[in-house]
Amino acid sequence: MLSNFPLAVLISGGLDSAILLGHALRSHTAAQPIFVRFGLYWEDVERSYLDRYLQVLNSPRVKPLIVLDQPVADVYDSHWSMTGQGVPDAAAPDAHVFLPGRNVLLLAKPLIWCHRNAVPAIALGSLQTNPFPDATPAFFRGMQDVVDHAMGTRVEVQLPFGGMKKSAVMRLARKWKLPLEHTFSCIKPEDGQHCGKCNKCAERQRAFAEAGMSDPTEYSRQ
């Protein structure tokens, strides 16, 4: 049975959040996608993929995309995510792609938006294998509690994929026939395409391979 209230979904255009939107359509009567615009190097290309994904998904239960601005140039300064220089390559460990405080920034405005618009829950696509300190259940509970206290109302932070590995989430996409060719995972796009050589492109390739799925992505380089 579908929950009869809308679920806000933090969506970036990547695999996990795109599949999370598919999950929301199978668990709630309506889904409200929210995109947080930080001003990161790859964000314009990412947004174009997200727009296509939503268009192809073409569900009347997906509400129009909400875009919230949270510029980070003043705190990230010359970080590779702003400049596109020194981007972690396929051989770099996951720790090298950590964006400091990203989930604090990612949740702050959307949570307030949900409080002000009477949306009782917001979901993120964080996985069991996410290694970063701002991706733990304790962190998400803490963010929820702080903003609930500040606003005087309650919005639940949900992690539907929190106990799952990426391969299991990918298999949900295959089951639901989601158009993953319109998702985007690259941190140094070339000519509007995945570069094929950065850390995130390598992670994307592994995700399809480990799930036993054909990778529909067009890479600029292989």
Q: pLDDT per residue over 152-192, tens digit each?
A: 999 999 999 998 999 999 999 999 999 999 999 999 999 99
Least confident of 24-28, 97-101, 127-131, 175-179: 127-131
Q: What is the pLDDT of residues 29-83, one digit of tens each?
A: 999 999 999 999 999 999 999 999 999 999 999 999 999 999 999 999 999 999 9
**Six token digits for residue 200:** 């995130």
Domain boundaries, the chain: 7-210
Instruction: Give residues with Cβ within 8 angstroms of 7, minimum separation 6.
Output: 24, 27, 28, 30, 31, 32, 119, 121, 122, 123, 158
Does domain 7-210 bear CATH number 3.40.50.620? yes
pLDDT at residue 210 tops 90: yes
> If you average pLDDT over residues 102-127, what whole number do you get?
96
Considering only CA atoms, which of 182, 176, 175, 170 is closest in space to residue 208?
170
Predicted local confidence at residue 222, as pLDDT: 55
Element (H, E) at 123: strand 121-123
**Six token digits for residue 129:** 């294998």
Predicted local confidence at residue 42, as pLDDT: 98
Q: Which amino acid is it at 163?
A: G
